Structures are given as structure tokens and as C-alpha cells.
Structure 1
Amino acid sequence: MRNLVWGFLCFVLFYSCKKESGCGYSDQNIVAPVSEQQAVKSYLDSNSLYSGSKDACGFYYEVVKEGDGNSPNLCSQVELSYIGKLTNGDVFDQASTAFTLGSTIEGFRKGLPIIKKGGRIKLYIPPSLAYGSKEIKDGNGKVIIPANSILIFDISLTTFY
């Protein structure tokens, strides 16, 4: 009887934890190294760009428009448009797309919840909150994001659910 009760309690505890996690994504609590944070800050300062807001994880951001309502969470299906650039100004991606927020890079996961539906934000993301030491190639094998790149995104959050 004791084993049956113990087994039932373990099942209930497991099920309730699983239910709370929802979509299966959880906060990874990644913090960029100080050297990467400094590199982003130096880039912003040397280009006379806005650098007034820094997240505890180490990325910088500028809220252009806050938006209305609630903010998305890791389980939210977000619809947005964005332009992604390197610090040399090269655009590596530009799209209007939809995805589950928890399925993307850490800089997006932490940065998008700062704004709400209809909002716009600029993110300056250090490498460890993006692709780190991994280079990203296009379909032809050309490197479009070099390893250890700072990424710059201008994002408009259309909606989420």
C-alpha cells in the first residue's frame, strides 16, 4: 500500500511539473561574459548609438515602441518582422515570420518579452546569447554570420498567441 501511495504521489508531482512547463521551453539563465558585454558596449559607444538599457543577461536594447497589452513568453507563438545585421552593417537576414519564442536564440527569448503586441525593439546581442562560436551558413555554404558575431536586430512584434 505504501508503495502504491508513493508511486501515485510521484506521478502527480511529475505530471504537475510537466504541466507547469507548458510547451517544454524553460529559461536557460545564460549570461554573456563580461568581455562580450564590453564589446557590445564599445560598438554602441564608437558608433554613437543608443546604449541606455542593458539586460542582466548582457544584451543591450532600445525600446522604440512599447506596444499594448501583455508580453509574449517562451511558449508564445510570435509573429514578427525583423532585420538582422552584423556590426559591419551587412544584413544577414530580413523576414516576416512566425515561430515559438522558446525555439530561438537566447537574445530573442529574453529581448522580445520586453515589448508587447505592436511594439518595436532594437536588440544588440553578444555572441553567447546568439550563435556563439558557431558560424552560420546559407544554403550554398557561404558564411552569413561569422563565429563570435555581435548581432543587431530591429524587430516589430506584430502579434502573439
Structure 2
Amino acid sequence: MATSALAIATAKPLTHHFSNSKHTPSPSFSCFCSSSSRVPPPNEAKLSFNSKSAAKQCVVNVGAGLLAASILSFSPLDADATRIEYYATVGEPQCELNYARSGLGYCDVIVGSGEEAPRGELINIHYTARFADGMVFDSSYKRARPLTMRIGLRKVIKGLDQGILGGEGVPPMHIGGKRKLQIPPNLAYGPEPAGCFSGDCNIPANATLLYDINFVGIYSGNAK
């Protein structure tokens, strides 16, 4: 199961960075041409046969590399990756938040028509998580698959348990539903930073978190 900022404790550090944009370096190609022939003196303009062959091979290799790069740049895989990135950084339509006594803000973009979230069971959700300023720090869409999580047993932060399972005036989510959550620090990670590694923390202390939740379904591997 994917390591996620949803979990209260993670086995691996988060790798998300505080950046609104993702830069992918352009592919680069280098060709190291060598020849076993002697090195000509500076005033000798004529290349040996081996040097000519090596130079020609270098040009061919570079040309082949550039052709492969151009093919990849227009491939469906690259287009899919672009769409995944787009979905991960664009929020659901806005809706007016309601507030529970706990301080949790919630509203339904789409009210699902399927089964409601069962306590203690594994469910599949897609989500995008942001800070209060709108900056994305985690998203299942970037991994191109939903997250499987156990709901209602404190396996995730309190705000997600309540926001999906319901309680204290919050209705439970149903399969097919999409909900926005505003999770205050007391229902998230509290006064301590989270996702820390080597002194760098992805989630600062006392952070209010915003989630777009898409309840995909109940995990098929639950014990019956």
C-alpha cells in the first residue's frame, strides 16, 4: 500500500516538496568517442580513418537518441502523465462548508448513491491534499491509483475518519460521493510537524489541511 500523508505514522518519509510546479529536465545525450589511433600533432589537419568512423558513429548515436526522445514526448504515456498531474493540482468545484462541533468543515460536491463507508473496513479513495493556501502536498492521482485505507479505527488522522465515516452531525460518505474537507490542526497532526526526515518536514506544525475526497468503493479484499 502506498505510503501517504494520510497515515498517523509512516514507515517512510514523505517526498513531497513545497512547490506549485514540477520541473522535468529535458533529456540530454552525451557521446564519448574514442579511437585507438595515435593522436595527430596540432598542425595535422587530416583525420585518421578510425577517427572518422568514430565521429560518424557519434553523430548516428546522437541522432538516434534525439529521435527516441521526440517519439517519447508525443507518446500516450506522457499524455496520461500530464493528465494525472493536472487532476492532482486542480480542485473539485467549490461548495459552502458546514462545520461540526469538532471544528471539521465539510461539504458534498456529489452525494454518492452507493453503500456508505463501513466502520473498520478497508475502502478505496482518491484524494488531493492541500495546505490552507491551496498548495498541494499529497495526491493519490499523482500515483495513478486510489489509496486503500481502513476507516474508523484511528489508522488515519481524526479529520478523515470523521469526514468519511461521519459522526457528530457529519453524514457518512457513500460510494461515488465527492466531499471537500477542511481539517483543523486538532483533527490533523496538531502542534507537531509531520513527514519529517533529516530536519525537513513536509507538514508544518498547527497546519490546517484541505482534502478533496472521492469515495471510489469498498476494498474487495475485506474478510467476510
What TM-score, normalized by structure 2, do the two folds share? 0.47
Correspondence for 1:80: 125
Cα-to-partner distance string for 1:13-32 (whole Å, 9 max, x where unaligned):
xxxxxxxxxxxxxxxxxxxx
Q: 2:164 aligns with which of 112, 123, 130?
A: 112
Q: Percent identity?
A: 29
Correspondence for 2:109: 64
CA contact (8 A) 1:80 1:159 kept: yes
CA contact (8 A) 1:68 1:119 kept: yes
For structure 2, which runs of at least 5 residues remain unmatched after alignment?
Answer: 1-93, 141-145, 166-171, 220-224
Task: Give the number of aligned pairs.
Answer: 113
Distance 1:60 1:138, change over 3 A: same
Distance 1:90 1:109, change over 3 A: same
- Runs of 4+ with >3 A deviation: 49-52, 138-141
Q: Does 1:134 align with 2:192?
A: yes
For structure 1, which runs of at least 5 residues remain unmatched after alignment?
Answer: 1-48
Structure with the larger strand share: 1
Deviation at 1:53, TM superposition (A): 1.2
**How large is the RMSD of aligned CA atoms in angstroms?**
1.8
The whole-number CA distance in structure 2 between the counterparts of 1:94 and 1:71 is: 23
Q: In the alignment, residue 155 of structure 1 is paired with which amino acid?
A: I
Correspondence for 2:205: 147
> Radius of gyration: which is bigger?
2
Deviation at 1:141, TM superposition (A): 4.7
Deviation at 1:139, TM superposition (A): 5.1
